[in-house]
Structure 1
Amino acid sequence: MVKCGACGKFLSTTDRACCHKCTAAYHKACVALPTLVNVKDSWICPGCKIKIPKSDNTPCKPHTAGNDPACPPPAEDVTHGSAEEPKLDLAVEIRSLRNELKSVRNEKKKQEQISLPNEKIEEAVSDLKFQLNEREQDLLANDLEITGVPEKKGENLLNLSSILSIKLGVTFDERNIVHLERLGPVRRNRVEGSDGDSEQRSRTIAIRFARRATRDQWVRAARVRRSLDTNILELPGPPTNIYINERLSRYKRHLFFLARQAAKNKNWRFVWTRNGQIFARKAEGNGSIYIRTEKDVEKIF
């Protein structure tokens, strides 16, 4: 199954844009294309566009009714002008950083031909990794994840989200939701219930909003109400806790886990995330510490 060249997730046949130059495929949302618009055979991905030499240095003028059709108008903003929508070239930047990181690693293997000291190479690789991780997190800036909601066959995630918004006291508008799904494949491992029946472990629900402000409103409301459970959704079975948090990239989730484990071992009281960044505080009254990498975890705790 084909994966997206920007986010790395699998592509469906209805939600993909294929570049006719490099044949790479992307989610339409990852390259800022409207989901319901059919992609033409002549579509070129952002990575190939920047490689096309310009015929002259004359910039395109703003589009008007009589302008040259060679300078098309800007693409319609799917999020109605939201300043927080990921930039078009964000996926290109990530691919560029991946290639640069691969190049540095290859150079490192040829140490006998490198004039720079080893510590300089390690520093360059570490810096590139950090930049790559930050850009991957930027792609999730408008995303929210909900864990603890039992997964049922034929469930209506939109209806569940609407009920949650009412319980949290936040505004719910279907037009503000770009994407809503359970993350990952159906889990094979099952948990035996009290009645002897087996149930699949529930996957995380991910919501992508059109605006980051909407995501932040949900997160703030969830932090005020820390005692959320499945009773508010009127689901059958014993109540289980529901957790609502901003969505983290794979590396950030791993780093957050390491920070929480280290804090627990060293009796630090607080570890939290804000806007995709990880912070820790030893106790009330102490200053917060920003955790960027795994080396920071080793130094701080």
Structure 2
Amino acid sequence: MVVKCSACCKFMSTVEGANVACPICKKQYHKECVGVRKNDTVPSSWACPDCKSRLPRSNQDNTPIKTHDVRNSSPKAKSPDSKRLCETAGDSEETSLAYELRAFRLEMSQTREELKGLRQDLFELRSTVRSCENRLDRVEETVQIMMTERASGGGTDSCFVKVIQALEANVERLQHDLNDRDQVLLLNEVELSGVPEENGENPIHIALACAAKLGMQLDEREVVSCARTGAPRREVGARPRPLALRLTRRDTRDALLRAARVRRHLTTEGLGLKSEARPFYINERLTLINRRLFYLVRQTAGRLQWKYVWTRDGRIYVRREAGAPAHRIRCESDLVKIFGPDGVCPPPPETGLQ
């Protein structure tokens, strides 16, 4: 049980050496409350202030001021001082009891307030749980209605189908927009394909040599970068990876593409390569989506005998014959619109494109 200090009526500290007990009345005090320093050792003859005030004082019989023999006085007769000490002790006990009752009443009041707060929290929690249960009931009813209407072929299912179709259309549109933006970033680049890949090669030197064979003298300052694209191919006889050449100006790229269209059937002979001569080609650099789509368009057009398939600024066009209108193809669904559902075949799973 926690004990309170008889002087300040506060709970005693549990720290050893912080409290002191009176050997006469057995009451306990804080050392600070009775004027004892915390680190001092209390002697065995120490007594609390109340007990010390009740102790009889020294009579000092040899003092000449005494007019009567104190030792021969009747022990039954009590002096006014002793009565006053008894009254003071009784008053201190009553005051200590009043302090304890007041502290107990304060603790009970605080406990009552805490119980009120706990009751309010429980009430709010009960209300929240009831609200969640109501919402779950409504969700279950809605799901049950949806399942019933879907099983019966109601109109709700068709509404959901329309919403899903609209979302799919938006996603497809966003994919097309992103692909167009990626293609814009490649407007200053060309792709050199068919050039053999060798160890220790200098891609920029190869690109400049290929441009020279096309009749264009490029300066290294007009080249931003030149590197092989895609993962290395370890298979024997595999096609070499293309070279991606990025130029500083777009007009230089356009001039290089025009020269490549005029001078066809050029080979790598004279480029200083150790491999045997083989034809190389220079085309526009396409995104991965446009590259796969261009491959599929060429396959379909060749099977249906459409004569013209080309790209311009990253856009793919197709024409059946000379004088016929040109059609732009942005996605695979455009193949069905242009070539018809019977003429379009699904692309092979592995096309070898990077």
Q: TM-score, normalised by structure 1?
A: 0.57
Paired residues of 1:143 and 1:246 also in contact (CA < 8 A): yes
Per the TM alignment, residue 115 of structure 1 is displaced from its structure 2 partner at its CA by 9.5
Establish whether residue 184 from structure 1 lines up as the match of residue 230 from structure 2: yes
Distance in 2, matches of 1:261 and 1:150, equals: 25
Establish whether residue 255 from structure 1 lines up as the match of residue 301 from structure 2: no
Aligned length: 183
Report which structure shows greater RCO (CA 8 Å, sep ≥6). Answer: 1
**Aligned match of 1:120 in 166, 171, 186?**
166
Paired residues of 1:145 and 1:204 also in contact (CA < 8 A): yes
Paired residues of 2:196 and 2:275 also in contact (CA < 8 A): no
**Aligned match of 2:217 in 171, 178, 181?**
171
Q: For 2:200, what is the secondary structure of its paired residue? A: coil
Q: For 2:269, what is the secondary structure of its paired residue? A: helix
Distance in 2, matches of 1:238 and 1:168, equals: 19
Establish whether residue 271 from structure 1 lines up as the match of residue 317 from structure 2: no
Question: Which of the two has greater helix per residue?
Answer: 2
Larger mean Cα displacement after TM superposition, 114-123 or 240-249: 114-123
Post-superposition Cα deviations, 1:145-198, rounded to whole Å, max 9, x if no partner, equal 10111111111222222221211112301111111111123212122xxxxxxx
Alpha-carbon spacing, 1:159–1:114, altered in 2? closer, same or farther (3 Å): same
Q: For 2:187, what is the secondary structure of its paired residue? A: coil
Distance in 1, matches of 2:205 and 2:277, equals: 19
Post-superposition Cα deviations, 1:79-100, rounded to whole Å, max 9, x if no partner, equal xxxxxxxxxxxxxxxxxxxxxx
Alpha-carbon spacing, 1:115–1:235, altered in 2? closer, same or farther (3 Å): closer
Distance in 1, matches of 2:300 and 2:158, equals: 38
Alpha-carbon spacing, 1:215–1:115, altered in 2? closer, same or farther (3 Å): same
Q: For 1:280, what is the secondary structure of its paired residue? A: strand
Establish whether residue 208 from structure 1 lines up as the match of residue 208 from structure 2: no
Paired residues of 2:194 and 2:239 also in contact (CA < 8 A): no
Larger Rg: 2
Per the TM alignment, residue 292 of structure 1 is displaced from its structure 2 partner at its CA by 1.1
Aligned to 1:21: none
Aligned to 1:240: 278
Q: For 1:206, what is the secondary structure of its paired residue? A: strand
Distance in 2, matches of 1:203 and 1:255, equals: 19
Aligned to 2:325: 287
**Aligned match of 1:221 in 259, 272, 278?**
259
Aligned to 1:135: 181
Per the TM alignment, residue 119 of structure 1 is displaced from its structure 2 partner at its CA by 3.0
Per the TM alignment, residue 240 of structure 1 is displaced from its structure 2 partner at its CA by 1.4
Establish whether residue 157 from structure 1 lines up as the match of residue 184 from structure 2: no
Post-superposition Cα deviations, 1:69-112, rounded to whole Å, max 9, x if no partner, equal xxxxxxxxxxxxxxxxxxxxxxxxxxxxxxxxxxxxxxxxxx99
Alpha-carbon spacing, 1:127–1:238, altered in 2? closer, same or farther (3 Å): same
Alpha-carbon spacing, 1:129–1:183, altered in 2? closer, same or farther (3 Å): same
Aligned to 1:105: none
Q: For 2:318, what is the secondary structure of its paired residue? A: strand
Q: For 1:230, what is the secondary structure of its paired residue? A: coil
Per the TM alignment, residue 272 of structure 1 is displaced from its structure 2 partner at its CA by 0.7
Q: TM-score, normalised by structure 2?
A: 0.49
Distance in 1, matches of 2:173 and 2:274, equals: 49
Distance in 2, matches of 1:289 and 1:131, equals: 19
Alpha-carbon spacing, 1:281–1:112, altered in 2? closer, same or farther (3 Å): closer
Distance in 2, matches of 1:174 and 1:154, equals: 19
Q: For 1:253, what is the secondary structure of its paired residue? A: helix
Provide the alpha-carbon RMSD of the alignment. 2.1
Per the TM alignment, residue 235 of structure 1 is displaced from its structure 2 partner at its CA by 3.4
Q: Aligned letter for 1:120? A: A
Paired residues of 2:193 and 2:280 also in contact (CA < 8 A): yes
